Copies of this chain bind each other. A is one copy, B any other.
Amino acid sequence: MYDLLKGLRVVEGSAFVAAPTCGLYLAQLGAEVIRFDNIGGGPDFRRWPLADNGSSLYWEGLNKAKKSIALDLTRPEGRELAQALATAPGDQAGLFVTNFPVDGFLSYAQLKARRDDLICVRVMGWADGSQGMDYTVNAALGLPQMTGPADDPRPVNHVLAAWDLLTGAYCAFALVSALLARGRDGQGREIRAPLSDIAAATMANLGFTAETLLTGHQRPRMGNDVYGAFGRDFTTRDGAKLMLLAITPKQWSKALDALGIAADVAALEAELGVSFAADEGLRFTHRARLYPLFERAFAAKTAAELTPAFDAGGVTWGAYQPLEAALADPRLYKDNPLFQAIANPSGLTYPAPGAMATIPQAKREPVRPAPRLGEHTDEVLAQVLGMSAAEIARLHDEGVVA
């Protein structure tokens, strides 16, 4: 938690990963983020993984540091409250993040009619408004066919919803950028961020599409070989798998030195008439000749023998380890100042992270847990919409809020 965005009020009407991470990033940099949900929870309220009592560890991970208000969104009065929240007054308000449909009661046109300078950032599936989620968009881009061992033709989906995550962060960036622009010109804007466009653009930004246009086909699947440079997993004498990477000349020479294979590689260079140090692409082209040298060097030693030499020699490497080992790894979790043990709505206390970046000169404020569903209903109705206690009581009595 930092206070860079102190004073901003963002309203979030969201579910799943992309829009909630957008709100999470804003909240953990100091914005007040108010998430509204249907009474009983939105479609992501019971998503796995679950605690033993049925609480969603996923939901409480993605909604840390937010406020929660529960509305009956099936009824006109509940929908009216959602619109009122998104468009409530305030210089640093009128900021709405959502993945609700383009044309529904949270359409930009309807909201703009209530607040002309509204900034509305909308996560979508496909750009045309049709249903799309991370895994279906990803399948359409060829990546599952490029992923996994070369000897197995089955498509391999990613486990990490990368498009959702990228979309969430990009939406946070777009929202703050639109706020800067509004400060300059007074104009609100709708910003639509379809997963399909984020994914299509990214495949082009990384050169995948230009390559396919040139060659007529996508990159073949090649296991864990790093494309166009030198990198792969190798197995040590004691069966550990280590990822080794050498893109720059320095990374390359350090890897050869630490493995003690510089002379073997020099002999291969002489035979082939190439310089691997000067051109990472040649290391990739000739990787079938290089791999046996590396495989032998890895197989000759245990991980405990190799890895201190790697670290001392400045090699770019990483051990494959399961998440339970990562949790004991001081670099990732055990001693990471991003994390603090907090009491969560599930009733469980466990370490959770604040803002993902660090400002060394600033003190980290405490990590704030996710709200209980509806925890801030009364507070938000009073403070944001200026409702009286009697009005709020009526809404409760009639089941419009909870």
A69-77, A147-155, A288-296, A371-379: which lies at the B interface? Answer: A147-155
Once A4-B178, A136-B245, A176-B176 are accepted as A-B contacts, the answer to whether A196 and B316 lie under 8 Å apart by CB is no
A387 to chain B, nearest CB (A): 30
B358 touches A192 (CB 8 A): yes
Chain B residues in 8 Å Cβ range of A382 = none
CA distance A176 to B31 in the complex (A): 14
Q: Residue of B at shortest CB range from A7?
A: B184
Q: Residue of B at shortest CB range from A161?
A: B206
A213 touches B25 (CB 8 A): no
Q: Is A275 an interface residue (CB 8 A)?
A: no
CA distance A322 to B147 in the complex (A): 12
B47 touches A229 (CB 8 A): yes
Chain B residues in 8 Å Cβ range of A348 = 210, 214
Range, interface on chain A: 35 or more
CA distance A62 to B203 in the complex (A): 11
Q: Is A399 an interface residue (CB 8 A)?
A: no
Indicate with 1 or 0, residue by residue over A193-227, a CB within 8 angstroms of chain B CB atoms. 11011111111111111111110111100011011
A237 to chain B, nearest CB (A): 18
Of the residues B58, B148, B172, contact of A173 by C-beta under 8 Å: B172
* Dominant secondary structure of chain A at its interface with chain B: mixed
Q: Is A274 an interface residue (CB 8 A)?
A: no
B48 touches A228 (CB 8 A): yes
Of the residues B47, B209, B233, contact of A323 by C-beta under 8 Å: B209
Chain B residues in 8 Å Cβ range of A158 = 147, 158, 160, 162
A10 to chain B, nearest CB (A): 12
Chain B residues in 8 Å Cβ range of A198 = 356-357
B280 touches A208 (CB 8 A): no
A207 touches B140 (CB 8 A): no
Chain B residues in 8 Å Cβ range of A223 = 154, 156-157
Question: Top 6 nearest A-B pairs by Cβ distance?
Answer: A48-B228, A136-B318, A169-B169, A142-B323, A162-B162, A49-B211
